[in-house]
């Protein structure tokens, strides 16, 4: 329970930001899962850039750390390389 108007406003803002960040993080995870689950090389080639875009947007708004974004993108790129070779 906030003790001042300022604390009440800060609590409202924090909750709004938490929900926005949650949706960005969820969309990013879903895009990664779809790209990982793709079976054909054509599907992977379509889904990986979309997933990387979601990762970049999450990192740009500090929803995830930039090093974590780089790690996710690296893993996706390796999956893409494996799918195109096979």
Tens-place pLDDT, residues 14-48: 999 999 999 999 999 999 999 999 888 888 889 99
Q: Look-up: residue for tokens 């990387």?
A: 52
Rounded-to-integer distance, Cα 63 and Cα 77, Å: 21
Token pair for 44: 């992977």
pLDDT, tens digit (0-9, with 9 covering 90-100), for 53-71 = 999 999 999 999 999 999 9
| Average per-residue pLDDT for the chain | 93
CATH code (residue 43): 1.20.58.110
How many domains are there within the chain? 1
What domain range includes position 74? 5-85
């Amino acid at each position: 329970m906030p003790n001042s108007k300022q604390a009440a406003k800060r609590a409202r803002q924090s909750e709004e930001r938490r929900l926005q960040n949650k949706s960005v993080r969820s969309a990013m995870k879903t895009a990664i899962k779809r790209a990982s689950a793709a079976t054909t090389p054509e599907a992977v080639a379509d889904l990986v850039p979309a997933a990387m875009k979601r990762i970049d947007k999450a990192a740009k708004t500090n929803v995830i750390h930039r090093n974590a974004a780089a790690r996710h993108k690296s893993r996706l790129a390796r999956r893409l390389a494996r799918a195109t070779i096979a």
